[in-house]
Amino acid sequence: MRLCIVSETWAPEINGVAHTLSRLSRELAHHQVDIDVIRPKPACAAKAPLVRAELQVPRCSIPGYREVQVGFCRPATLRKFWKANRPDVIYLATQGPLGWSARQAARRLGIPLVAGWHTNFDHYCGDYGVPWLASATRRYLRYFHNGCGLTLVPTHLQARQLRQQGINDVQVMSRGIDGERFSPTHRDPELRRSWGVNDHQPVALYVGRLAAEKNLALLQETYHAMRNVRPDMAHVIVGDGPARAQLEHALPDAHFTGFIDPDALAQHYASADLFIFPSLSETWGNVVSEAMASGLAVVAYRHAASAELIQNGYNGITVPIDDPAAFCQAAVSLCQHPADYAKYSRLARLRALEQNWSGIAQQFLHYLLKAQEAYHATPSPRRIRPS
């Protein structure tokens, strides 16, 4: 099989989408799948690894958030690329301008399409002060995805929600975890000492973008409340983004690392004790499964990966969506009970290890084949013969 992936982001960029696509590509190579990539031109010119053919298109960063970029390309340019490198199926990991052009070009050429739901764009409308755009965004997304043969989402809750919004052919494809990279064995006493704690003092960790959609006001409130009952604990924040300066001002005692390399990230996870994650914008949230695999007790909303992986009160703590008081209280209570977070940490790792990338990639390949077979077997008004 020859697969073309269309995405706004790719490794070594640091985000959940790039990580997921990189791992899937690596696993698919073991199944004799040739990968082509269409993506915005990276800051440092280089060809993506494990890729047979690649098209890099013009890019534009989002104003005020230079780390996030979108690609632009005329459908005619994409048709030319695909006529020279015709894939058996195309995976759209973006619904932005690049994804729209790819959707148009693929339909014109008669190539099967599978779309991924990697970002909750309608949720972001509220986070960035344009809630009135949410309904129009949902209409666009429904039209976009119903022009594809299949839409893959990471959780069962997301699948139900999209079906209720009128999106057809929605299937669940979860996310995996590397249990060797993210492991309690990477705990580093020297790193903990640099945070000013000994073996018996708790460390609360957050990993993720520092941006409005991550619900950082609640993170700030929760960290303050935890410090009030455990003045000896350390707070560590890994990541960067436009909200960093404000958060550093609000949490002067916290340790801010910025972006760090993968090995250092694994050490930071394993050297902490609690993972505090108040975000509601994720479709999955790789950081939750990474924290669980690293042996951390997680406090999160009952949403995305947390809803799939955490059994409340057994291997972590989840609270109902949009109950910030319950979230804050859960974190405050847990940091005072070392025996509880030690128990959660052991059981969390066992649950995370069930999410192996090999099985996820096989599931992805199954869906690609299913979409390809259905496209060629069933006449459809969505199909347009190649010109």
Residue 199 and residue 138 share a domain? no
Give the separation between CA 177 and CA 20, rounded to whole angstroms.
10
Answer whether 117's CB lies under 8 Å from 173's CB.
Answer: no
Examine residue 383 and state whether it is found in any structural domain, yes or no: no
Report the pLDDT value the prediction gives residue 133, as an integer from 0 to 100. 75
Residue 346 and residue 199 share a domain? yes
Report the pLDDT value the prediction gives residue 365, as an integer from 0 to 100. 97
Find, among 131, 128, 158, the residue nearest to 145 by Cα: 158
Residue 221 belongs to domain with CATH number: 3.40.50.2000
Report the pLDDT value the prediction gives residue 252, as an integer from 0 to 100. 97
Residue 192 and residue 314 share a domain? yes
Report the pLDDT value the prediction gives residue 120, as an integer from 0 to 100. 66
Report the pLDDT value the prediction gives residue 64, as an integer from 0 to 100. 56
Residue 361 and residue 347 share a domain? no
Report the pLDDT value the prediction gives residue 129, as an integer from 0 to 100. 59
Give the separation between CA 135 and CA 374, rounded to whole angstroms.
31
Amino acid 183 reads S
Residue 294 and residue 364 share a domain? no
Q: What is the pLDDT of residues 125-147, one digit of tens each?
A: 555 556 657 788 889 999 999 99
Q: What is the pLDDT of residues 4-22, one digit of tens each?
A: 999 999 988 888 899 999 9
Report the pLDDT value the prediction gives residue 48, as an integer from 0 to 100. 82
Per-residue pLDDT in tens (0 to 9) along the chain, 387 residues: 999 999 999 988 888 899 999 999 999 999 999 999 999 998 776 788 889 999 999 988 765 556 667 899 999 999 999 999 999 999 999 999 999 999 999 999 999 999 999 876 666 555 555 665 778 888 999 999 999 999 999 999 999 999 999 999 999 999 999 999 999 999 999 999 999 999 999 999 999 999 989 999 999 999 999 999 999 999 999 999 999 999 999 999 999 999 999 999 999 999 999 999 999 989 999 999 999 999 999 999 999 999 999 999 999 999 999 899 999 999 999 999 999 999 999 999 999 999 999 999 999 999 999 999 988 876 654 444 333
Report the pLDDT value the prediction gives residue 385, as an integer from 0 to 100. 39
Examine residue 10 and state whether it is found in any structural domain, yes or no: yes
In the chain, the number of structural domains is 2
Residue 322 and residue 200 share a domain? yes
Q: What is the mean pLDDT of the chain?
A: 92
Residue 227 and residue 306 share a domain? yes
Residue 232 and residue 135 share a domain? no
Residue 154 and residue 190 share a domain? no
Report the pLDDT value the prediction gives residue 381, as an integer from 0 to 100. 45
Residue 290 and residue 200 share a domain? yes
Residue 218 and residue 92 share a domain? no
Count of C-beta atoms within a 10 Å radius of residue 169: 17
Q: What is the pTM of this model?
A: 0.88
Give the separation between CA 274 and CA 132, rounded to whole angstroms.
37
Residue 171 and residue 55 share a domain? yes
Report the pLDDT value the prediction gives residue 386, as an integer from 0 to 100. 38
Examine residue 113 and state whether it is found in any structural domain, yes or no: yes
Examine residue 49 and state whether it is found in any structural domain, yes or no: yes
Range of the domain at 344: 184-352
Examine residue 210 and state whether it is found in any structural domain, yes or no: yes
Examine residue 382 and state whether it is found in any structural domain, yes or no: no
Examine residue 386 and state whether it is found in any structural domain, yes or no: no
Examine residue 387 and state whether it is found in any structural domain, yes or no: no
